[in-house]
Structure 1
């Protein structure tokens, strides 16, 4: 059934953030997303068994994670935060976007090495050109407040009604001028994915 996973294209977007209205950063923060747009084999019908696709998508998740990491410089140690999401075309259902949890999230965590936090996620059904806001938080401690963030993924011609857009997001730092308190990255102590 893996031949049903027909990829139309991938899209990579990387921002280089030098400041956010305050002082210029000594090192710009790289923040990006990579999406894959593929045909939804379940479009237009209810299918009770979706699990084969989750398994078959694992190599696709790794490919997307590798493309994104390369776009951000290629060094897993520089990645501080991440997120993921799925945008299902109108002929699909919300549950189809959830197929990305294992394929995308686990692939990204495995590629980065130590990545203890659950990967935050957003899934929705929408038309071509819909915005997909990907939530982002720290890769090792979800409570690191400086890394509560997000990035918007948009592909003007996707997803078509019978497609799904799956995306991953990564950053090399938190918000440029974080100063609202909370757990700091340097204070991570429990190494439990949260604190």
Structure 2
């Protein structure tokens, strides 16, 4: 069984910021910024099947969250309005390994608190080869029904994850989609 404080082996941290100033030929009122931080860690789960994934996720969740969550908020450099998370598991792991790590309140609360959010973090997880992209869904940090903030960002790390690694990722945006103009949630069925 896992020790109370298993070691987290970090190979690299990758930070990415995208700033959009015009969209569809129109200048934006302010730049739309997205920050993403990914930690490439050794898969803490054994290569063979184990039934209990929760005990280890509980033991490391807060420390893994601390690697990426607060750093993502700091990298954005302004108030977070939308956020999301993801896990990309190397080929010798299983998608459930990534799910166990990021679908754990000890992980999510670190990011949620840093972003001053209240909603559950939307997530994506999959198994992929080194360099595989992953699309990270974002939603409003206070109200997941705010349509203007539903957006997806793509992230990849050349050379990661290796077969026994997981890339754990947090993403944050300073606003909803550039030029968002959809009606409020439910407007299409309101009488």
After TM superposition, the score normalised by the length of structure 1 is: 0.86
Structure 2 CA distance, aligned partners of 1:112 and 1:26? Answer: 23
Aligned pairs (5 A) from 1:90-169: 90-98=91-99, 99-102=101-104, 103-113=106-116, 115-169=117-171
Contact 1:116 1:139 in 2 (8 A): yes
Q: Find out whether 1:18 has 2:4 as its counterpart.
A: no
Higher alpha-carbon deviation: 115-124 or 159-168: 115-124
Query: Where does structure 1 differ by over 3 angstroms across 4 or more consecutive aligned residues?
Result: 1-4
State how far apart, in whole Å, the 2-side matches of 1:105 and 1:131 are.
Answer: 22
1:178 aligns with 2:180: yes
Corresponding residue to 2:56 among 53, 57, 63: 53
Secondary structure of the equivalent of 2:84? strand
- The answer to whether structure 1 residue 85 and structure 2 residue 89 are counterparts is no
CA distance in 2, matches of 1:46, 1:4: 20
Report the RMSD for the aligned CA atoms in angstroms: 1.5
For structure 2, which runs of at least 5 residues remain unmatched after alignment? 186-191
Corresponding residue of 1:192: none
The verdict on how the C-alpha distance between 1:153 and 1:171 changes in structure 2, with shifts beyond 3 A counting, is same
User: For 1:25, what is the secondary structure of its paired residue?
Assistant: strand
What is the deviation of 1:137? 0.7
Q: Is the 8 A contact 2:39 2:67 kept in 1?
A: no
Q: Can you give the 5+ residue segments of structure 1 that lack an aligned partner in the other structure?
A: 184-195
**What secondary structure, in the 3-state scheme, does the structure 1 residue paired with 2:166 have?**
strand
Contact 2:91 2:128 survives alignment (8 Å)? yes
Q: 1:181 & 1:125 partners in 2: Cα distance? A: 36
- The SS at the match of 1:18 is strand
Q: List per-residue Cα deviations over 1:139-162 (Å, max 9, x = no partner).
A: 111111111101111001100000
| Greater strand proportion | 2
Q: Residues of 1 paired with 2:98 and 2:64: CA distance?
A: 14
Q: Is the 8 A contact 2:151 2:176 kept in 1?
A: yes
